[in-house]
Amino acid sequence: MGAIDGTHVSTNVPVEIQGKFRGRKEGTTENILATITFDLKFIYVLVGWEGSAHDLRVLDDALSRPSGLKIPEGI
């Protein structure tokens, strides 16, 4: 595992749920978590979290999923 990072991407969502997708950035955003190897290959991507979700909450979700993010022993 090389790096884990999150980012916000602009998104269009229905009016009735826009409040959850408003984060610190202007407009509605989706919180995305990605993991890459040392040779810059994506090994895990989690999309779909609303922009207002805290990064730790997104990471906890990635780690708790049955086929989610697995951190190698000793890292």
In terms of Cα–Cα distance, which of 31, 33, 40 is closest to 1? 40
Residue 21's pLDDT is 84
Tell me what the mean pLDDT of segment 29-52 comes to.
91
pTM above 0.95, yes or no: no
Return the residue matching tokens 């009735």: 16
Interatomic CA distance for residues 12 and 1, integer angstroms: 32
Model confidence pLDDT, tens digit, residues 45-63 = 999 888 888 889 999 999 9
Q: Encoding tokens for residue 71?
A: 């951190």
- Contacting residues for 48 by C-beta, under 8 A, at least 6 apart: 30
